[in-house]
Structure 1
Amino acid sequence: MTFLPTNREEMLEQGFEQVDFVYVCGDAYVDHPSFGCAIITRTLQAYGYSCAILAQPDWHHDEEFLQFGTPRLGFLVSAGNIDSMVNHYSVNKRRRDKDNYSDDGVMGRRPDRPTIVYTQILKRLFPQSPVLVGGIEASLRRLAHYDYWDDKVRRSILIDSQADLLMYGMGENTIIEVAEALNSGLRAEDCCFIRGCVYKTKDISLIPDAIVLPSFEEVKNDKVMYAKSFQIQHENIDAIAAHVLIEPYDGWYVVQNKPPLPLTQQEMDFTYSLPYERTFHPKYHYIPAIEEVQFSLVSNRGCFGSCAFCAITHHQGRVISTRSKESLLAEAKSITEMPNFKGYIHDIGGPTANFSRTACDKQLKYGACVHRECLSPKCPNLVVDHSDYVDILRSLRALPKVKKVFIRSGIRYDYLMYDKDDTFFEELVQYHISGQLKVAPEHISPKVLDKMGKPHKELYLKFVDKYHEINKKYNKRQFLVPYLMSSHPGSDLNAAIELAQYLKKIHYTPQQVQDFYPTPGTRATCMYYTGLDPQTMQPVYVARTYEEKAMQRALMQFTYPQNYQLVYKALKTAGRLDLVGNTPKCLIPYRSDLIHGGKRHVKPQDRKTKKHLKQGM
């Protein structure tokens, strides 16, 4: 098999005068099943449709967009694997230096908001050709949404881009239904019956089973209405339980059809059996994003963890889809035959590695519960079972040429702790950790954890103890690295100080701190923008100023000398100067030179404190 054509010359070499679809993508072309572009185009190819890929075209000139001519059925547009604004900017809205999805990591190969930019160019150059948008950027912006970078509510990306149709969620089945509809002679606007599609119309009189959301003008001008609209959307992300949603605009309605059904195991196996090259196109020197995934296996989709700051449930849903052991072993065997394989499978998992089945059996018939979460708080119907995952891991470890199978995608430690059978926990420690296990307690304050949708610290502390016990049992010296987040909605300075005190207690300073990043599609972003928890409509504290965010971040790294003044100011602001001094409970010593400026002077203190100061605390 070969790569799909990426320019006119390659298209002609492969025997096509005209292709059915041209896929325009903000990422460089990587033919690997961890990349949406590869999955969609290989799926179309498997069903007999030809595709060309226009990766990272120069949007300042029309020539690259014109080179393939008019596709027979239409253009497909995606920003790539990551929302372009997240890819381009840090949480402080500073331009990033590196784009892992571009050749050699060079930044600037795509515009901001490429879904909009590419689509508008195509509509101008090919006014009669359908332009269909999809991917994570389109999926999470399918209805009115708060945009952190513009600091305002933006319209549905379907309206802003002028696209003919939007496809959201995981799109293999959706794209084939759309392709078959277009191939039969239907127009893009006639695909209003297909799951996973969003379209615009002026007449909603014939749409059954629909919920009319607050209008764009209402959510733009009223934060209470925004929160109410978000909650309705959140309650309608399950393919079985969801209703059609309608969002009114001036003269138009944006209609979101029910989500696509989760893939069956047979469909998942089919998707990952397609003839991917598993690397980037040879025209590139190196695409950094391939490094972590080239020798990794995707075993599941969906997530019933429902963390407030994560958009996975908004994109993939809460119902888990899994692959068969036979499918995973077949892919693993093909990996072992790659010339640059060194014996290490880097990961086997998905959004959450150890979710290897649906949360409960009734989800297959009735879908996920609308008003109840599966994991936090724990639902009494939750089925905790790692047996299939353990069986797959054992089979992978037994393959010739495989030295080690790592698990690097997220482990839900609470789900792990709920399992009365310790087999997976013990084998995780024995065989699947590369020196350290990364888990995500995220915080320690109960009021923050409640807003995050995470379990309270007591369960995490039990997990830590058990992890160390099992390591000791098998004579392992493996570390535990907690992911922690600052400035999440609900976190004030007192909560940040509580977290700092815990870090002091365990003698741990995180090397990197994740400041909360408001991205489209998450409940936490709704809280950040509105100051309301959409589930309860109760007020939520939000750290909004740069200074307070910096103080919360500095408190997590209170041992760093460069953070001294920020930490002192945070403690003073919170009325916690009792934590400044020389006693064991204090976070920082008293230093008048740094507090008041001027001549260096350290308050009298014992030798031990002087030693700590010399070593940078």
Structure 2
Amino acid sequence: MENPGLAPSLLAYPRHRPRLRPAPFLPMSRAEMDALGWDQCDIIIVTGDAYIDHPSFGMALIGRALEAQGFRVGIISQPDWHSADAFRGLGKPRLFYGITAGNMDSMINRYTADRKPRSDDAYTPDAAPDKRPDRAVVVYAQRAREAYPDANIVIGSIEASLRRIAHYDHWSEKVRRSVLPDSKADLLVFGSGERAVIALAHRLAAGEPIEAIRDLRGTAFMVKPGWRPEGFVEIDSVAIDRPGPVEAHRDPYAMEPVGAPAGAASVARSEAQPIRIVPAAERVAARKADRARQVIRLPAYEVVKDDKVMYAHASRTFHLESNPGNARAMVQAHGVGPGCRDVWLNPPPLPLTTEEMDWVFGRPYARQPHPSYGEARIPAWDMIRFSINIMRGCFGGCTFCSITEHEGRIIQSRSEASILKEIEEIRDRTPGFTGTISDLGGPTANMYRMACKDPKIESSCRRLSCVFPGICENLGTDHGPLIQLYRKARAIPGVKKVLIGSGLRYDLAVRSPEYVKELVTHHVGGLLKIAPEHTEDGPLDKMMKPGIGTYDRFKEMFERFSKEAGKKQHLIPYFIAAHPGTTDEDMVNLALWLKGNNFKLDQVQTFMPTPMAMATTMYHTGKNPLRKVSADSEVVDTPKSGRQRRLHKALLRYHDPEGWPLIREALRAMGRADLIGAQPRHLVPRDQPVILERGDAGKAGGPRKSGGKADSPVGARRAPPPTRRAAGAVRRGNGK
């Protein structure tokens, strides 16, 4: 097993084919392979996204990294999954198929938080829907196996990464197995995959069979029960974080009461064995063994699918083993009897160094969609083509987000020179560039080059967040490198403006007034999106987000520096409805805060339970995995019913008449009818507004068309046409 700090550099491998030159685009057809003089691909990447040769897209990032190592890489993009024919299009890969659902989990890509099918797909030409299957990793892997039964199948992407152990699946409303047994893949690569995939390719090319490659960090695979590498010690997860009540030991001095009836049962158990005194050395051997040689056995799939307490315990244990500096291997049984197999998870991948990050992002990307798409518009490409990813990872630990579980908590930053060079490439090579860089960011806008002050502390830390419940005293929060990067970026000839579009951690930003001033003065295009997510402590605690007071501090700075710069700029706050731990009262208080601050949200986000997220564990189990879990531990109430989720969403849009009937009903049930009325202190009015049908104005008694909001089950009532003044009031009330 690779040890922290000992992984070979990505730049240290000898090129597999020293004379292989970069392709204009990685080939998607036999004709393109012929033009390159290839008879066979070493690796074929199958993806659910359109192929865009840009470092923001996984297939290009991994494909170009492998190409730079001397491997021939082909792409099969959005194949027809109804048969194996499309998977034979480039022939059989010499080393392996790399299966990815794309940049998003396919179920999130295809369905809303309320499980409704989405009408478009941002990662598809012309946003066409239905170009990928549900659970794309499983389907693609099965079709690739059907195409070439003896080919090596390696699965990856965020979909596989976050489904590597038994997990709650929102769309089927049940706990599903790891994606490994369903996909029948030989290997799963989780997290940022460059280290594992490059090492795997070189070892396969050297003749090592894939079933023998069991020591790569960031990989998971199926093994027979009881398998473990030589020298490894297995530890039951309950020995680390015991769930449930602990049964008291029987009192050895207890006696039967005097006068006990003859034949009364003995207190001794029939299965009792002689007491064995375990030597101290043996008792602590497993605990004191080298962590690199320990494997934690999680509760089996057959246990967690039915036992919510054990599911929450498994989730907590899993997340506590996420620091690559001290994480241990984990194993989870799937199946019973002769068919039982273990899913083995190696520790997470080691973060890339700055030199390696520069190497990965410095490949000769075409920075355009593949020519086969012609003039088709791909929304995801339009969104990012003028943006730059400056770092990876996030130490925020928000429970509704899985970035930490995928990219890691340690920030991996590119060098200033690498970033500035990419800005120049966008200026010189990207069609349509008018001088504006749309974003310099990543998972967050302002964690660039931030790290723990002490590498030893960092490698031993088991905190789930570096900034919650407060910012760790060991975290370096210097914004100086980011300020300098901003200044140098906007000084590049041909660059008129550099905007920041990634999410801002305002709890970090308020520590650097200089950074906030720099951001507000030069890098906000009038509106800055920011995500307090809620105002109430209960939900914020379950989200692991800072209190609303921190937002208020940032807002004061933002407005002060905007005024000093002579700019009229505004914050656009984002909030989540129906998050675990949120009560109806919490949402009413949030709605009152929104109204008091004159915010009228056009779009709102309803909580979606995504695989592997801690908040999903709360949603499914009703337990809080942020603390020790037991049958009688903290209960987390979660809005699950469609009606309550609609209510929470309606409260975020308190100004929309469509939600008023539901809000009024809820307020009366809560004993808060005092919030119903027409005064500024009220949340919603007593009566529904009149909504005119198109063409009704001036035609009293005329025919009315059906459809639209008036047909909604909680929509506004219909009435005769009002006066012109009333009609204007209705339009304003609808936010139109």
**Coarse TM-score class (shorter-chain normalised):** over 0.9
CA contact (8 A) 2:413 2:448 kept: yes
* Whole-angstrom distance in 1 between the partners of 2:382 and 2:716: 47
Residues 145-544 of structure 1 mapped to structure 2, 5 A cutoff = 145-202=167-224, 203-206=226-229, 207=232, 208-250=293-335, 251-284=340-373, 285-338=376-429, 339-363=431-455, 366-367=458-459, 369-371=461-463, 373-378=465-470, 379-419=472-512, 422-536=513-627, 537=629, 538-544=634-640
Q: Provide structure 1 residue ranges, at least 5 long, that are not aligned to the other structure.
A: 602-607
Displacement of 1:612: 6.3
User: Would you say 1:38 and 2:60 are equivalent positions?
Assistant: yes
Of 106, 109, 123, the match for 1:84:
106
Corresponding residue for 1:570?
A: 666
CA contact (8 A) 2:296 2:329 kept: yes
Displacement of 1:596: 13
CA contact (8 A) 2:187 2:219 kept: yes
Displacement of 1:296: 1.0
* Whole-angstrom distance in 2 between the partners of 1:598 and 1:535: 46
Corresponding residue for 1:605?
A: none
Q: Deviations over 1:60-94 (max 9, x none)?
A: 23322112221111111000000000000011111
How does the TM-score come out when normalised to structure 2?
0.80
SS in 2 for 1:333: helix
1:363/1:525 CA distance change after superposition, 3 Å: farther
Corresponding residue for 1:552?
A: 648
* Whole-angstrom distance in 2 between the partners of 1:456 and 1:469: 21
* Whole-angstrom distance in 1 between the partners of 2:152 and 2:575: 44
Q: Which amino acid aligns with 1:233?
A: F
Corresponding residue for 1:585?
A: 681
Q: Deviations over 1:217-255 (max 9, x none)?
A: 111010000000001110111111100011112211101
* Whole-angstrom distance in 2 between the partners of 1:388 and 1:176: 31
Q: Deviations over 1:152-182 (max 9, x none)?
A: 0111101110000000000111111111111
SS in 2 for 1:539: coil
CA contact (8 A) 1:241 1:366 kept: no
* Whole-angstrom distance in 2 between the partners of 1:288 and 1:610: 37
Displacement of 1:611: 9.5
* Whole-angstrom distance in 2 between the partners of 1:226 and 1:233: 10
1:336/1:217 CA distance change after superposition, 3 Å: same
Q: Which amino acid aligns with 1:478?
A: Q
Displacement of 1:530: 0.6
1:412/1:355 CA distance change after superposition, 3 Å: same
Displacement of 1:616: 2.2
Query: How many pairs align?
Result: 609
Shifted more, 20-29 versus 1-10: the winner is: 1-10
* Whole-angstrom distance in 1 between the partners of 2:362 and 2:228: 43
How does the TM-score come out when normalised to structure 1?
0.95
* Whole-angstrom distance in 1 between the partners of 2:302 and 2:392: 35
Q: CA RMSD in A?
A: 2.0
CA contact (8 A) 1:18 1:72 kept: yes
Residues 2-81 of structure 1 mapped to structure 2, 5 A cutoff = 2-81=24-103
* Whole-angstrom distance in 1 between the partners of 2:505 and 2:135: 32
CA contact (8 A) 2:438 2:498 kept: yes
* Whole-angstrom distance in 1 between the partners of 2:688 and 2:348: 60
User: Would you say 1:103 and 2:130 are equivalent positions?
Assistant: no
Q: Provide structure 2 residue ranges, at least 5 long, that are not aligned to the other structure.
A: 1-22, 233-292, 691-713
Displacement of 1:367: 2.6
Displacement of 1:600: 6.9
CA contact (8 A) 1:319 1:363 kept: no
* Whole-angstrom distance in 1 between the partners of 2:519 and 2:603: 25
* Whole-angstrom distance in 1 between the partners of 2:464 and 2:582: 24
Q: Which amino acid aligns with 1:558?
A: Y
* Whole-angstrom distance in 2 between the partners of 1:610 and 1:381: 59
CA contact (8 A) 2:43 2:95 kept: yes
Give the % identical residues. Answer: 41
CA contact (8 A) 2:450 2:478 kept: no
Displacement of 1:365: 6.6
Displacement of 1:609: 12
Q: Which amino acid aligns with 2:310?
A: M
1:111/1:614 CA distance change after superposition, 3 Å: closer
Shifted more, 463-472 versus 85-94: the winner is: 463-472
Shifted more, 133-142 versus 339-348: the winner is: 339-348
* Whole-angstrom distance in 2 between the partners of 1:452 and 1:390: 29
CA contact (8 A) 1:116 1:157 kept: yes
1:93/1:614 CA distance change after superposition, 3 Å: closer
CA contact (8 A) 1:359 1:374 kept: no
Q: Which amino acid aligns with 2:499?
A: F
User: Would you say 1:125 and 2:147 are equivalent positions?
Assistant: yes
SS in 2 for 1:567: helix
Q: Which amino acid aligns with 1:381?
A: N
CA contact (8 A) 1:280 1:286 kept: no
1:381/1:597 CA distance change after superposition, 3 Å: closer
Shifted more, 565-574 versus 404-413: the winner is: 565-574
CA contact (8 A) 1:26 1:56 kept: yes
* Whole-angstrom distance in 2 between the partners of 1:426 and 1:329: 22
User: Based on CA coordinates, which of the two structures has the bigger radius of gyration?
Assistant: 2
* Whole-angstrom distance in 1 between the partners of 2:367 and 2:640: 43
* Whole-angstrom distance in 1 between the partners of 2:577 and 2:383: 26
